[in-house]
């Protein structure tokens, strides 16, 4: 018998004997390792984890976990997860997707799973490129991006995944990056603890088709000045010398420092406000608004009834009301007559 | 007012059968009128068959040809099979209804028109240059020009209701009149109105007045010399109700829950003519039924597959355009060997086609409409009530053999109704469900020797952790494999495991006619009624014919090849261009011929008879 004592698990329990076939040096390895490290800490029996993915490099993930898994079809993992969770709400369901799988072919399901507050996690590996099909631009590729399918540069405006998630009504939205494993693990734990859809965007480097895509805010020499790690209740202060802050100016955010303002004006992060405005502004920084640092951390974490809570509340109510109904009574409903 | 008041003595003529059609504007309540007439007819004990025919637009412009909605009912004192080829009575509430429906009225048939609607505007909308009622119609038909609108107004004069409300109840005048004409009891309709308007006594009173006014008009007017009765039919003893195909499909799913113990999960996206299954099933949340209106057709089947992976029974309901969208996911269920039911309620196509009309042209889509070698069992219902048993059979095969199954119905079955002998659920065998628990010897694709089904191991079961997916996988272990020999073997295993289901389904047998003969009429799906009626006619004429009907279309019954050899010729009538014919010719090398009319309507009996006679004569 496999053990069902959660505290006894180690990372090794979640490692699959299958060979991992991502390119050497792929950011996916760091994410896999972080997930495998976090799982034993969650107090959930191993057999209750289900990893569901679509198609793409990231979607090979379930094969590399020693858990229940379903490698489904392109863009549709969220729909399968919806069915799984609606039959067995006790399972801890993790959807693994990418920027192409989750936002291009699966864009429709992304919005609807999130607005329903389906009780599962969505880890979106964003490498801003199609890797498995060998290097076409993706919905998150920047304007002007030259790829195999855009030799003259992309003319598409990119989408910011966290903006889309917040606009869809996500109750938990976070962003992290593959080269900061410690932060990623914290975020994964937070996502695991959330009831409802937990959306995590993970910037992930594809060293074959889109290497150094995140250098602007992840490289050692620039990261402190070009990124800000947000925490609930704390001001948005960043910079090598902690000398810069984000200030809210109307609907906009701007950078202030001792020279042009007071640090007391710094925006204080609040994950728990129902209004989506604050998380939306922070999520846009550095991605949709140039000149601002890119925010990492939990942008939003609010509690709302999950789809499953509503589903079973309704079902239980119907059962209480209709407990005396039998199949016979349904078959015999309406006008009937007897032929002798 | 009572029904016997002022009763004049009129002769009641006994008929064997009648086919009548109510036709009017979409807003005239023709479907409701037809439905009520059907219930009253069922109570009398006639055998009956109905054909609702309505436009795809919710409210096409009033008075237009496109906006005509009709309801046909064929009822009889003997067993009948179809809603009837030609009409004995046509009730036309406006010129457009007359124009679109008159062609189906038999010469000398009874034409009842609402003369008040035959004004210049309406005639123009219907494309009449002059009033057809003044243009020779009376020589061809028994025309009854009745002031239905005005008589309705008169009946309600004292109530001082808005003109719109008055106009809206004129269908009940027509209904009352037809109740009188065919000596049907009004009680069920009165009960129904009382229930429907329990909170609106004014409307209730108005509706009852108009209904009765129509009935009394029939009694008192000089126009009708006699009315008719049709004695109850000799049908199998038992308790009956009226049922549409979609209702029977729903009951089949609820029964399947009872027989399997599984939670039924319906993932569905609204589409005509399948939506009623979603509506109806979503009422039974107290019954182990979960319904999910998904964001699209793809999400609908995806959620159903997820439900089956987690240990429910996933079902998705749709029509042809939805099947197109679901095909990639159907293949995932084929590859991962998960049981789901795909209900295709066929409609006219291609593309959006004729959403509210019937067709049988998705058969080849169900058989072949996916990439690569992708075998899926296919089962088709033959009558509205048959949807119940057919659904249970679909569920049995899906679970026993761990496979997606196509359940085929169509617009005609979905909305058409028939008297249905209510089954005893205890007569159905339980459908055994086994979830794998044992760790020792587990492998996700280790097959049962007899059924070749893989084990159903649910997430949440300790020690059976495994991954399934769309990539080709190794036999037994289920691990991803790109090995050429393995793929060849897997393709053949998938084909074999579906083909061998032929050992577990009933043989095909004769419905009507001789075990050997000159001609076999072979059908599938909703053509059963027309084919039965045609076969009976041919037998009466002394031909050596028989008919047989396929419920299982993949695989076919094991004896089908031998069975076909008992007849010199094979005729396959279908509401498509010969899809079953293609399969039969390919598999059995039989020179089968087709009778194919793809008009959005059920096949006509006479067309089948004529084709059969031509074939026999050679």
Domains of chain B by start residue, with CATH: 11-230 (3.40.920.10), 241-427 (3.40.50.970), 434-504 (no CATH), 510-617 (3.40.50.920)
Tokens standing for B390?
């057919």
More confident position, B3 or B312: B312
Chain B environment of A86 (Cβ under 8 Å): 265, 290, 292, 303, 306-307, 312
Q: Provide the shortest C-alpha distance from residue B240 to chain A (in Å).
A: 5
Residue A145, Cα to own-chain centre: how many angstroms?
Answer: 24
Q: What percent of chain A shows pLDDT beyond 90? A: 90
Strand partners, B345: B409
**CA-CA-CA-CA torsion for A145, A146, A147, A149, nearest 10 degrees?**
100
Q: What is the ipTM of this complex?
A: 0.97
pLDDT value at residue A1? 45
Q: How many CB atoms lie within 10 A of CB B514?
A: 16
Residue A310 lies in a domain: no
Order of all β-strands in the sheet with A172-177: A227-229, A294-301, A172-177, A198-203, A121-126, A92-98, A49-53, A68-71, B467-469
Residue A259 lies in a domain: no
Chains A and B: how many Cβ contacts under 8 Å?
A: 210
Contact B329 A76 (CB under 8 A): yes
pLDDT value at residue B9? 63
DSSP for B366-390, please give it.
Answer: HHH-SSSS----EEE--STTHHHHH
Phi, psi for residue B175 in degrees, rounded to 5: -65, -45
Q: Provide the shortest C-alpha distance from residue B9 to chain A (in Å).
A: 30
Cβ contact B178:B91 at 8 Å: yes
What are the pLDDT digits (tens) for A53-68?
Answer: 999 999 999 999 999 9
Residue A311 contacts B where some CB pair is shorter than 8 Å = yes
Q: How many CB atoms lie within 10 A of CB B387?
A: 33
What are the pLDDT digits (tens) for A146-184?
Answer: 999 999 999 999 999 999 999 999 999 999 999 999 999
Scanning A146-185 for CB atoms below 8 A from B yields none
SS3 B552: strand
DSSP character at residue B262: P
Residue A325 contacts B where some CB pair is shorter than 8 Å = yes
Tokens standing for B50?
């109905």
Is pLDDT of A326 > 60?
yes
Residue A329 lies in a domain: no
Which residues lie closer than 8 Å to B549 by C-beta, 6 or more apart? B382, B508, B511, B522, B523, B524, B528, B531
Chain B environment of A108 (Cβ under 8 Å): 295-296, 299
pTM of this prediction exceeds 0.90: yes
Contact B314 A50 (CB under 8 A): no
pLDDT value at residue B1? 39
For an interface test with A, the pick among B248, B286, B300 (most A C-beta atoms closer than 10 Å) comes out as: B286
Number of independent structural domains in chain A: 1
Domain residue limits at A119: 8-212
Contact A69 B305 (CB under 8 A): no
What SS3 string covers B392-423?
HHHHHHHHHHCCEEEEEEEHHHHHCEEEEECC
Which residues lie closer than 8 Å to A48 by C-beta, 6 or more apart? A90, A91, A92, B459, B460
Chain A environment of B188 (Cβ under 8 Å): 335
State how far the Cα of B124 lies from the Cα of B64, in Å rounded to an integer: 9
Is pLDDT of B99 > 90?
yes
**CA-CA-CA-CA torsion for B469, B473, B476, B479, nearest 10 degrees?**
-80
Contact A337 B480 (CB under 8 A): no
Residue A67 lies in a domain: yes
Lowest mean pLDDT among A85-89, A314-318, B43-47: B43-47
Cβ contact B84:B49 at 8 Å: yes
Residue A168 lies in a domain: yes
Of B240, B286, B458, nearest to A322 by CB-CB distance is B286
State how far the Cα of B612 lies from the Cα of B542, in Å rounded to an integer: 13
Residue A328 lies in a domain: no
Cβ contact A204:A99 at 8 Å: no
Lowest mean pLDDT among A175-189, A196-210, A321-335: A321-335
Lowest mean pLDDT among A148-152, B220-224, B386-390, B607-611: B220-224
DSSP for A235-294, please give it.
Answer: B-EESTTS-EEEEEETTEEEEEETTTS-GGGPPBP-TT-SSSHHHHHHHHBTTTBTTSPE
Residue A83 contacts B where some CB pair is shorter than 8 Å = yes
Q: What is the CATH number of the domain that holds A40?
A: 3.40.50.970
| Alpha helices (H) along B106-169 | 120-125, 137-140, 148-155, 163-168
Is pLDDT of B472 > 50?
yes
Q: Provide the shortest C-alpha distance from residue A313 to chain B (in Å).
A: 11
Chain B environment of A63 (Cβ under 8 Å): 467, 469, 480
**CA end-to-end span of chain B:** 64
Residue A316 lies in a domain: no
Contact B265 A83 (CB under 8 A): yes
Q: How many CB atoms lie within 10 A of CB A59?
A: 28
Banded model confidence at residue A340, pLDDT cuts 50, 70, 90:
confident
Handedness of CA A53, A59, A63, A65 (dihedral sign): negative
pLDDT value at residue B138? 85
More confident position, B514 or B59: B514
Contact A337 B42 (CB under 8 A): yes
Residue A337, class by beta-carbon neighbours within 10 Å (0-12 exposed, 13-18 middle, 19+ buried)? Answer: middle
pLDDT value at residue B3? 47
Is pLDDT of B460 > 90?
yes
Banded model confidence at residue B386, pLDDT cuts 50, 70, 90:
very high
C-alpha distance from residue B480 to each of A21, A71, B9, B384, B469 (Å): 12, 11, 84, 44, 9
For an interface test with B, the pick among A308, A316, A337 (most B C-beta atoms closer than 10 Å) comes out as: A337
Residue A143 lies in a domain: yes
Q: Provide the shortest C-alpha distance from residue A227 to chain B (in Å).
A: 36
What are the pLDDT digits (tens) for B304-353?
Answer: 999 999 999 999 999 999 999 999 999 999 999 999 999 999 999 999 99
State how far the Cα of A278 lies from the Cα of A270, in Å rounded to an integer: 8
Tokens standing for B431?
């459908």
Contact B468 A311 (CB under 8 A): no
**CA end-to-end span of chain A:** 60
Is pLDDT of B560 > 50?
yes
């Amino acid at each position: 018998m496999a053990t069902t004592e959660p505290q006894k698990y180690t990372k090794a329990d979640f490692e699959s004997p299958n060979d991992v076939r991502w390119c050497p040096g792929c950011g996916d390895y760091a994410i896999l390792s972080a997930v495998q490290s976090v799982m034993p800490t969650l107090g959930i029996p191993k057999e209750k984890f289900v990893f569901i993915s679509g198609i793409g490099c990231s979607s090979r993930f379930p094969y590399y976990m020693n858990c229940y898994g379903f490698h489904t079809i392109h863009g549709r993992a969220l729909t399968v997860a919806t069915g799984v969770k609606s039959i067995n709400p006790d399972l801890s369901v993790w959807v693994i997707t990418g920027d192409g799988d989750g936002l291009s072919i699966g864009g429709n399901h992304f919005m609807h799973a999130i607005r329903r507050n389906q009780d599962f996690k969505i880890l979106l590996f964003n490498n801003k490129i199609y890797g498995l099909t060998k290097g076409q631009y993706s919905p998150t590729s920047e304007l002007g991006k030259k790829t195999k399918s855009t030799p003259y540069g992309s003319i598409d405006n990119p989408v910011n995944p966290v903006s889309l998630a917040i606009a869809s009504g996500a109750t938990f939205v976070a962003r992290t990056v593959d080269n900061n494993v410690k932060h990623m693990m914290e975020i994964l734990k937070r996502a695991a603890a959330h009831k409802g859809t937990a959306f995590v965007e993970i910037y992930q480097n594809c060293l074959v088709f889109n290497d150094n895509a995140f250098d602007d805010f992840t490289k050692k020499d620039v990261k402190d000045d070009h990124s800000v790690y947000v925490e609930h209740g704390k001001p948005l202060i960043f910079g090598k010398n902690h000398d810069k802050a984000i200030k809210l100016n109307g609907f906009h955010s701007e950078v202030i420092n001792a020279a042009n303002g007071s640090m007391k004006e710094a925006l204080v992060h609040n994950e728990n406000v129902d209004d989506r405005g604050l998380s939306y502004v922070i999520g846009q920084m550095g991605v949709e608004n140039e000149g601002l640092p890119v925010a990492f951390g939990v942008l939003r974490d609010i509690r709302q009834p999950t789809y499953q809570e509503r589903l079973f509340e309704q079902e239980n109510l119907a059962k209480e009301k209709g407990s005396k109904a039998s199949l016979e009574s349904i078959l015999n409903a309406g006008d009937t007559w007897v032929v002798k | 007012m009572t029904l016997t008041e002022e009763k004049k003595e009129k002769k009641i003529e006994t008929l064997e059968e009648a086919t009548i059609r109510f036709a009017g504007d979409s807003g005239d309540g023709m479907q409701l009128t037809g439905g009520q007439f059907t219930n009253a007819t069922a109570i009398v004990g006639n055998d009956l068959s109905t054909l609702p025919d309505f436009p795809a637009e919710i409210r096409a412009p009033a008075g237009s040809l496109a906006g005509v909605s009709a309801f046909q009912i064929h009822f009889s004192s003997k067993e009948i099979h179809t809603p009837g080829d030609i009409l004995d009575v046509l009730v036309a509430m406006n010129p457009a209804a007359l124009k679109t429906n008159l062609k189906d009225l038999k010469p000398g048939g009874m034409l009842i028109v609402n003369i008040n609607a035959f004004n210049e505007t309406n005639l123009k909308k219907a494309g009449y240059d002059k009033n057809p009622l003044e243009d020779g119609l009376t020589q061809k038909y028994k025309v009854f020009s009745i002031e239905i609108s005005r008589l309705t107004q008169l009946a309600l004069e004292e109530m001082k209701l808005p003109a719109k409300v008055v106009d809206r109840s004129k269908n009940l005048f027509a209904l009352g009149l037809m109740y009188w004409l065919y000596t049907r009891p009004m009680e069920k309709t009165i009960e129904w109105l009382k229930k429907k308007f329990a909170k609106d006594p004014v409307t209730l009173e108005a509706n009852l007045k108009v209904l009765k006014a129509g009935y009394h008009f029939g009694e008192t007017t000089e126009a009708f010399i006699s009315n008719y009765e049709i004695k109850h039919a000799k049908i199998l003893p038992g308790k009956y109700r009226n049922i549409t195909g979609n209702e029977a499909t729903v009951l089949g799913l609820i029964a399947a829950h009872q027989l399997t113990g599984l939670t039924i999960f319906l993932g569905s996206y609204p589409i005509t003519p399948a939506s009623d299954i979603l509506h109806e099933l979503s009422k039974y949340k107290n019954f182990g039924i979960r319904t999910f209106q998904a964001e699209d057709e793809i999400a609908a089947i995806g959620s159903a597959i997820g439900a089956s992976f987690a240990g429910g029974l996933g079902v998705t309901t749709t029509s042809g355009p939805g099947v197109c969208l679901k095909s990639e996911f159907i293949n995932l269920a084929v590859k991962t060997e998960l049981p789901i039911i795909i209900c295709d309620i066929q409609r006219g196509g291609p593309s959006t086609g004729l959403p509210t009309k019937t067709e049988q042209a998705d058969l080849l889509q169900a058989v072949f409409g996916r990439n690569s070698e992708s075998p899926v069992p296919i089962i088709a219902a033959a009558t509205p009530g048959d949807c119940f048993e057919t659904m249970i059979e679909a569920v049995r095969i899906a679970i026993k053999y761990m496979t997606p199954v196509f359940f085929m119905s169509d617009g005609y079955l979905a909305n058409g109704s028939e008297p249905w002998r209510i089954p005893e659920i205890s007569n159905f065998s339980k459908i055994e469900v086994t979830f794998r628990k044992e760790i020792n010897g587990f492998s996700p694709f280790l097959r049962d020797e007899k059924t070749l089904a893989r084990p159903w191991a649910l997430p949440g079961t300790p020690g059976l952790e495994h991954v399934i997916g769309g990539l080709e996988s190794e036999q037994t272990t289920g691990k991803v494999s790109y090995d050429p020999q393995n793929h060849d073997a897997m393709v053949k295993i998938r084909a074999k495991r579906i083909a061998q289901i032929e050992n577990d389904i009933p043989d095909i047998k004769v419905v009507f006619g001789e075990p050997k003969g000159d001609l076999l009429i072979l059908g599938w799906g909703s053509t059963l009624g027309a084919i039965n009626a045609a076969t009976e006619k041919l037998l009466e004429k002394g031909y050596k014919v028989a008919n047989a009907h396929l419920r299982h279309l993949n695989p076919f019954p094991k004896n089908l090849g031998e069975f076909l050899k008992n007849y010199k010729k094979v005729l396959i009538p279908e509401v498509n261009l010969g899809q079953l014919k293609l399969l039969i010719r390919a598999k059995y090398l039989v020179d089968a011929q087709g009778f194919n009319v793809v008009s959005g309507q059920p096949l006509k009996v006479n067309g089948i008879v004529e084709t059969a006679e031509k074939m026999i004569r050679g």
